Homo-oligomer: A and B are copies of this chain.
Amino acid sequence: MGQNRKQGYAEIKEIILGRLKDGTWPAETRLPDEITLAGSFGCARATVNRALRELADEGFLSRKRKSGTHVNRIPQRQARFQIPSVRDEIEATRARYRYHLLHREPRQAPAWLRGRIGLADHDQVLHLHCVHYADNEPFQFEDRWINLTAVPSAADESFDQRLPGEWLIERMPYTDVEMTFSATAADLTQAEYLSVNRGQSLFVIERTTWLKDAPVTYARLSHHAGYKLKTGY
């Protein structure tokens, strides 16, 4: 059974994936245990272990002690996206990046926001509107709310130069993030700042972060239709 010597974990992953794709090991199959596989691949158990562990992380296999490694009926399809910062995203296209702060107002948190991210009634927030331009074309409209109870120093920052996203990430650790993607029809504010007509289709990313259950910030990032997010698998 000994095959070619010197298989690395990456090659072993490829070999196993090949057997999944060509039907050698159809769904529900129980794979040989790690020691057996190590023998047939001519490598150490740890090497097989890493290959199988990564394939399981990627959703192709399920592993359980004692019952072994099984081929998933439907490979778990997890789409993985890299979300770059706007600035990087724009500069990556060789376009010139420009940022403009349009609105900055400390205020009581509105009820919808309190409910959405879990603020107390008395919490003060800082509300910002900004636009990110690529070659002077509006690229993203950012509607951001920062919880001043969690980040009091934001009250002293003008944000007329610093991007709120980058400023926050530099000083505020976070423990949890939630993002949602959706489509929406442009409201008056979005239409004005993105130079589109009201009602036009926009792509929206919403991002909320918390630090140990304390909400830090909620941002709503709107893009022209035509903006596409693509998986980086």
Contact = CB atoms under 8 A, between A and B. Distances in A.
Contacts of A17: 174
A173 B230 contact: no
A90 to B, nearest CB: 14
A10 interface: no
Nearest to A207: B77
Contacts of A227: 182-183
A182 B59 CA distance: 24
Interface in A106-145: none
B82 A81 contact: no
A40 interface: no
A229 B180 contact: yes
B27 A173 contact: yes
Given A74-B166, A74-B173, A173-B74, A183 B225 contact: yes
Interface of A: 17, 20-22, 27, 59-60, 73-85, 88, 166, 169-170, 173-185, 199-204, 211-212, 223, 225-233
